[in-house]
Amino acid sequence: MRHAAPCIAPGTCYGLLDVPADPEATQMAAQRLAISLPNPLLLCHSPLQRCEHLALSLCALQANLTSNADGRLREMDFGQWEGRLWADIARHELDAWTQDFTRYRPGQGEDLASMLTRVSAALGEAQQHLQRGTHVVWITHAGVARCVDWLVRQGSLAAALQVTAEQWPLHAPGFGEWQTYAIAPHGVLAALQQAQQG
């Protein structure tokens, strides 16, 4: 599940920037998800407050839940771009990123290869829980959702690391929406349905 709408000006680059989400929208998202939760359930969240507050709101609605902060579920670190308007970032910097999409470090922050690697490790653990019959919910970010989508479609981290900017999925769940995956017969994750609001 993606966090609720953040309290930041539209068009601002924010990844690791720890901005809060709208409190009312966070509560509404928690209420929508709470009525859809399966059991047994492992709840994990990005440590950034826009995700943590949603996880805590969900736990307040479901007394049997505990939430686990997982740094691998945080958004990409955009380094010196954080907090700047996308329109103010130099075109040659954006072009350099698209030309070396997995290895370029936007704003001297994190490269996509590193992000895919950490999300892949978390996804592998989630898959083990699923295979043992425990459902897993992540409260996270659009960038992580895109990583999951790409990793699931490629089937391996090695294949996923070959991505170009043109291939990268643009779709991600909207604020307060989620995407559902399940273990397919051949033992890998497969998307069940498009992002939903509940």
pLDDT in tens, 49-64: 999 999 999 999 998 8
Q: Is 102 helix (H, G, I), strand (E, B) or coil?
A: coil
pLDDT band at 15 (very low <50, low <70, confident <90, very high): very high
Residue 88: CB atoms within 10 A of its CB come to 10
Its pTM stands at: 0.93
Tens digits of per-residue pLDDT, 79-93? 999 999 999 999 999
User: Mean pLDDT across the stretch 109-118?
Assistant: 98
Q: Is the pLDDT of residue 183 over 80?
A: no
